[in-house]
Amino acid sequence: MILQNILLQIGNIEISGIIDLAIMVFSLLLLSLSLIAFKNTGLKKILYAAGAFGLFAVSLFLEYAEESTDFLGGIDIDFVGSAITLGILILFFIAIVKRR
């Protein structure tokens, strides 16, 4: 009976929204860990990876906000999302290719 009541309360929240929120939190955690790693090692290429994790969190936040509300108004979220994804890929590429 208690489990059924809990499931009914959770049923109002969309599972995809919960997963998006978990991914945002995880990407912010990775951003924090990357910044700590940079502080400890001084390797500048870690900053590129940290930037990519930060952009990933921003991208998911914008996507989640657009689905939940009309957060961006008339701005095309597909264009913004694609531009952020391109930025993420470029930052990861630089982090891998860059020497020291």
Residue 1 in any domain: the answer is: no
Q: Which domain holds residue 88?
A: 15-97
The predicted-structure confidence for 8-64, as pLDDT tens digits, reads as follows: 555 556 777 788 888 999 999 999 999 999 999 999 899 999 999 999 999 988 887
- Tell me the per-residue pLDDT of 78-88, one tens digit each, with 9 for 90 and over: 888 899 999 99
Asked if residue 78 belongs to a domain, the reply is: yes
Residue 5, in any domain of the structure:
no
What average pLDDT is seen over the chain? Answer: 83
Q: Which residue has the higher pLDDT, 93 or 10?
A: 93
pLDDT at 1 over 80: no
Residue 93 lies in a domain: yes
DSSP letters of 11-45?
Answer: HTS-HHHHHHHHHHHHHHHHHHHHHHHHHHH--TH
Specify if 6 maps to a domain: no
Over 80: is that where the pLDDT of 99 sits? no
Looking at the domain assignment, is residue 10 inside a domain?
no
Does 7 map to a domain? no
Structure-model confidence comparison of residues 68 and 36, the more confident one = 36
